[in-house]
Chain A
Amino acid sequence: MGAPGLAFDGILGAALLWTAWQAIHAAGLFRAVVSFMVFGLLMALAWVRLEAPDIALAEAAIGAGITGALLLSALGRLDWEAGRATDECLRGRDRAFWVPTGLLLLAGLGGAAWLLPAPGLGEPVAAELGRSGVENPVTAVLLNFRAWDTLLEIAILLLGVVALWSLGPTPWPSSPELVSPALPMLGRVLFPAFVLVSAYLLWRGSHAPGGAFPAGAVMGAGGVLMLMAGARPWLSGDVHGPWRWALALGMVAMLGVAFAVMTGGHGFFEYPVELAGRLILLLELAAGLSIALLLFALYLGGEPPADWETRRPA
Chain B
Amino acid sequence: MFTGFMVNAWQVGTIVAVVAGVVGFFVVLRGAAFPAHAIPNGAFAGAAGANLIGLNPLLGLGVFSALAALGIGGLGKRGRPDVATALALVLMLALGAAFLSQSTQYEPEIYSLLFGEILGVSSTQILPTLLLGLASVLAIAVLYRRLLLTSLLPDVAASKGVDPYRVDVMFLLVVGLATTMTVPVVGALLIFSLMIGPPAAARTLTSRPGAALWLSVSFSLLTIWIAIAASYQTNWPVGFYVGVISAAWYLAARTYVRTQSFLVLRRRVI
Instruction: Please determine whether chains A and B interact with each other in the same assembly.
Output: no
